[in-house]
Amino acid sequence: MRIISLSRFLAEALRQARDGRLSLLAGAGVSMVPPTCLASAMQLKRLAVSSLCDTPGLRLYRRKVMLSPRFDSLVLEILFQRFYESFGSRLFSFFDVLADAEPNLVHTVVAELQQKFAIPVVTTNFDTLVERQQESPRPVLHLHGELGDREQMVVRINQVGKGLPTGLVRNAGRCIRGRVLLVLGYSGSDEDVRVLLRRCRPARVLWLVRVRGDLALQNIQRSFKGFDVAVAFGDLGLVSRRIAARVRVESALTRLGMRRGGGKMHFSWGRRLTLDERYMALSEVMMDIESYRLAAEVALAGYRRCRVLERRARFLIQAAGAYKVLADTPAAIGWAKKGLALARKSRDSWAIAAALNTHGLALLEQHETDPARALPLFRRAGAAISSALRERRSPEVRERMRGFAARVFNNLGLALMQLRRDAKAEQAFMGSLAFKRQSGDIIGMATTAANLARLKYRRREHGPAHKWKWRCLYLVERYDRKFTKAYLLRSLGGIACEQGRTKVGMRSLKAALGIYQDLLGDGLGVRLTKEIMARFRKRGGTR
């Protein structure tokens, strides 16, 4: 990567356009310029949570969520994944907020460049504002879908995990491969787009970045090493005005609407949600921002007000999961057992599996781990989820069940690993990964990669162990999964110390301790990490 002046950036982009070698990738920033003013990722997150909590019993939690230090770093697609799991296809009407927008000068300039120089245009945006500014129709390739077909829009983390469809990748390759790619208003944060660019490698990349501290610059440095990337700093609106002056787009400017305003930031999406659904989704969001006490509080509040047997069971299972992370094993097992009883009364196979799985995890993750008692619980959970998958369910429910089956396989592998049945543990982990790849569960892949790294290091298979370790670290850094990172560092630190590499192990343990203390204060992770460190300090190892 190299930094060039804005003047040189513009001259190079226009020269490549005139030579017929330029392609253009437009990101969300293109539609945030006035008068379009579509919502940023942070604004969409705030709007979604505000809509979810727009009811008397939940309004007090809205502020708590938004003030959480973890809310800012919560990836938007993870939030919408939780909403999809709770609301199904009713999620898509949320995107009405993007439907009422007017084109801006950037859209006009992109449309005019496309018309004059036959530039292929690729975008991650859902809006069709570039197309609206064209005099004669030219295709714009929407990598993540468009508002006209909302169910195909890529808004969930599992869709990102599955990657772009083969046909779309082929079409994008024709637009990008071997050409000079001009990138405007794009942060480079989408994993599926990064994979596309690595596969369909452009000859050069001209990337406009707003300021030096911009996320786009971090992503370029981290994800596009080895690419020929020239970066210029500048405001997108100013750059568009300079391009407009150079290529004389006066005729196109007459097509630019003068109405101000942008997407509607006040709308009625939340009114379509039931109160039970709101409580359930909010508890899941609390888990994602690692506010586990609040997650348990919201889940139990939902349980107390809910009258539907099946949903009552699921609220108790959510509460048990939160208490499990908080290392309150008696509460976790107690609520899991009560949830299991309700699930059996309602004959809900999915809830039965979830209750058994949570009970087993509580036994595995308590201070005195008990894999022998946990193993049959995971096997029964697997049988229950297999039964649930045979039932007639909606596509979104079946997708969630497949994701849950992957988690059960992962936990089965954990129990087997603790019982030193390594071959069967590895088989279970690989089965879990297969399910997670199929469903696009990127976050789950990080956890299973951590377990495989732990297993391989313990067996001194250092080559494969390093591969799984760095795969896990890449995902947890990308999606800010601090709890998974602490678990990996603690596990590998303990193994390194056991194998005599005490100096290396202590570094990992200290890093894990710092993360655990930030997340949970004096929780189980802190206590276990301190115990491992104390044990090996007494041995006096230094390697």
What is the pTM assigned to this prediction? 0.89
Smallest Cα–Cα separation from 170: which of 111, 124, 122?
Answer: 122
User: What's residue 264's pLDDT?
Assistant: 45
User: What's residue 249's pLDDT?
Assistant: 63
Does residue 543 surpass a pLDDT of 70? Answer: no
Q: CA-based Rg of the chain, rounded to a whole angstrom?
A: 25
Spell 99-133 as b/e; 16+ CB within 10 A means b: eebbbbbbbbbbbbbbbebebbbbbbbbbbbbbeb
Does residue 140 surpass a pLDDT of 80? Answer: yes
Distance CA 55, CA 277 (A): 12
Alpha-carbon distances of 436 from 51, 85, 408, rounded to whole Å = 30, 16, 11
User: What's residue 478's pLDDT?
Assistant: 86
- State the pLDDT confidence band at 266, using cuts at 50, 70 and 90: very low
Number of neighbours of residue 1 by Cβ within 10 angstroms? 15
Q: Is 81 helix (H, G, I), strand (E, B) or coil?
A: helix
Percent of the chain with pLDDT over 70: 95
User: What's residue 82's pLDDT?
Assistant: 92
- What are the two backbone dihedrals, phi and then psi, of residue 231, each rounded to the nearest 5 degrees? -110, 135
Cβ within 8 Å of residue 391, ≥6 positions away: 349
Q: Which two tokens stand for residue 181?
A: 């790619």
Number of neighbours of residue 3 by Cβ within 10 angstroms? 13
Does residue 263 surpass a pLDDT of 50? Answer: no
Smallest Cα–Cα separation from 60: which of 69, 49, 70, 71?
Answer: 49
User: What's residue 542's pLDDT?
Assistant: 47
User: What's residue 137's pLDDT?
Assistant: 80
User: What's residue 429's pLDDT?
Assistant: 97
- What are the two backbone dihedrals, phi and then psi, of residue 142, each rounded to the nearest 5 degrees? -95, 105
When pLDDT is averaged across residues 355-366 and rounded to a whole number, the result is 94
- State the pLDDT confidence band at 252, using cuts at 50, 70 and 90: low
Cβ atoms of 379 and 363 closer than 8 Å: no
When pLDDT is averaged across residues 409-413 and rounded to a whole number, the result is 96
Distance CA 452, CA 457 (A): 9
Mean residue pLDDT across the chain: 90
- State the pLDDT confidence band at 378, using cuts at 50, 70 and 90: very high
When pLDDT is averaged across residues 52-65 and rounded to a whole number, the result is 91
- 293-316 pLDDT tens trace: 999 999 999 999 999 998 999 999
- State the pLDDT confidence band at 539, using cuts at 50, 70 and 90: low
Q: Is 208 helix (H, G, I), strand (E, B) or coil?
A: strand
Spell 473-496 as b/e; 16+ CB within 10 A means b: bebbebbebbbbbbbbbbbbbbbb
Q: What is the largest CA-CA distance in the chain?
A: 79
- 19-39 pLDDT tens trace: 999 999 999 999 999 989 998
Distance CA 343, CA 332 (A): 16
Tokens 């006040």 appear where?
Answer: 266
User: What's residue 80's pLDDT?
Assistant: 95
Distance CA 389, CA 520 (A): 36
- 425-482 pLDDT tens trace: 999 999 999 999 988 999 999 999 999 999 999 999 999 999 999 999 999 988 888 8
When pLDDT is averaged across residues 89-117 and rounded to a whole number, the result is 90
When pLDDT is averaged across residues 359-376 and rounded to a whole number, the result is 93
- What are the two backbone dihedrals, phi and then psi, of residue 208, each rounded to the nearest 5 degrees? -90, 125
